[in-house]
Amino acid sequence: MITSRRPRLVKAGQYLALLAYMVFLAVPLLWLLSTSFKNPRELVELHPSFIPQHATLSNYTSALRDADLVHSGLNSLKVAVITAVLTTLVGLPAAYVLARTRGWISRFGLAYILVSQMFPLILIIIPLFLVLRDLHLTNSHSGLILVYLVWSLPFILWMLQSYISNIPRDLEEAAAVDGARRIQIVVRIIAPLLAPGVVVTLLFAFISAWNEFFFALVLLQSPGLVTLPVKLAQFVGIEGQIRLGPLAAASLLATIPSLLFFSVMQRWLTSGLLSGAVKG
């Protein structure tokens, strides 16, 4: 039996392309890891080495102790978790209405969602700040969470309504015949089938709130309320002087919670996909 070498070459090329892509993604993170262990003298060398010659933990000590990174991280965690939960709770029933409602209301709602994403942040930040000031929500996590909720909701609505549209209406009609009310249909039938979509929504809302910088910079003035992205920006001095070592250590530590959150939610995402495949 003669086998062609072309499929093997194609497969080998695919693996090489995947390996190159993984290296492309890993090199910046590895360089950040290397920089976080270098002493100040190694950081200013004209020909820096990838592996630190004299590894030190002083950068991590400085980031955790002097910059109060833990407190800012807890602020970011609080804002991101509450934003993710509230956005999902608000977005799920609203997306169900958009997906199941026929007519001009649904079309107008979807068109409005797309249009709302076209406005740049710099265009709305001044009126947004004035509105929050009148409501006494500036310099507070409550106001920041409200902004993140409104800002993330359009994309989440668009994403969730596409998931709901793929669920057959026959399931809802059968439940309605059995006497289930609309809220029971959403909670007991639609929500379990939407497990992958809900997990993706939580991930998107959490990571968006965790990484957001501009709104947090404008709305939060008290040092005890600042979130992690704003705290990382403070490693750059007024004259552009960068504390490169502590900044690298702090940036590396800042990626850990989002990675842990993704690794935990990935299990739910995988189980939801497999459950949907078996039920279908």
Do residues 82 and 22 share a domain?
A: no
pLDDT digits (tens, 9 = 90+) for 168-211: 878 777 878 877 787 777 777 777 777 777 888 888 888 889 98
Q: CA 144 to CA 225: how far, in whole Å?
A: 10
> Is 106 part of a structural domain of the chain?
yes
Element (H, E) at 215: helix 214-219
> Is 104 part of a structural domain of the chain?
yes
Burial of 206 (0-12, 13-18, 19+ CB in 10 A): buried
Measured in degrees and rounded to the nearest 5, phi and psi for residue 64 equal -80, -35
Do residues 90 and 225 share a domain?
A: yes
Question: Which CATH number characterizes residue 251's domain?
Answer: 1.10.3720.10
> Is 34 part of a structural domain of the chain?
yes
Do residues 87 and 52 share a domain?
A: no
Do residues 15 and 151 share a domain?
A: no
Q: CA 1 to CA 82: how far, in whole Å?
A: 62
Q: Could you tell me the residue range of the domain that residue 22 belongs to?
A: 1-56
CB 37 within 8 A of CB 56: yes
Do residues 10 and 127 share a domain?
A: no
Q: Which two tokens stand for residue 198?
A: 């809900």
Burial of 116 (0-12, 13-18, 19+ CB in 10 A): middle
Torsion angle, alpha carbons of 248, 53, 66, 257, to 10: 40
Spatial CA neighbour of 73 closest among 196, 220, 228, 221: 228
> Is 202 part of a structural domain of the chain?
yes
Do residues 203 and 237 share a domain?
A: yes
Do residues 24 and 80 share a domain?
A: no
- Name residue, tokens 């695919």: 14
Q: CA 87 to CA 205: how far, in whole Å?
A: 7
Q: CA 262 to CA 206: how far, in whole Å?
A: 10
Do residues 107 and 161 share a domain?
A: yes
Domain boundary among 11, 29, 56: 56
> Is 1 part of a structural domain of the chain?
yes
Number of domains forming the structure of the chain? 2
> Is 228 part of a structural domain of the chain?
yes
Do residues 36 and 172 share a domain?
A: no
Do residues 32 and 80 share a domain?
A: no
The one-digit pLDDT tens for each residue of the chain (280 residues) are 455 566 778 888 888 888 888 888 888 888 888 888 888 777 777 777 777 877 888 888 888 877 678 888 899 999 999 999 999 888 888 888 888 777 777 777 777 777 777 777 778 888 888 888 888 888 899 999 999 998 888 888 888 888 888 888 787 778 788 777 877 777 777 777 777 778 888 888 888 899 889 899 888 888 888 999 998 888 876 666 778 888 888 888 888 887 887 777 776 665 544 444 334 4
Do residues 89 and 26 share a domain?
A: no
CB 245 within 8 A of CB 59: yes
> Is 66 part of a structural domain of the chain?
no
pLDDT digits (tens, 9 = 90+) for 120-155: 777 888 888 888 888 888 889 999 999 999 888 888
> Is 52 part of a structural domain of the chain?
yes
Q: Which two tokens stand for residue 234?
A: 């403070």
Q: Which two tokens stand for residue 103?
A: 């007519």
Do residues 11 and 142 share a domain?
A: no
Tell if the pTM clears 0.85, that is, is over it: no
Proportion of the chain in helix, strand, coil states, percent, rounded to 5: 75, 0, 25
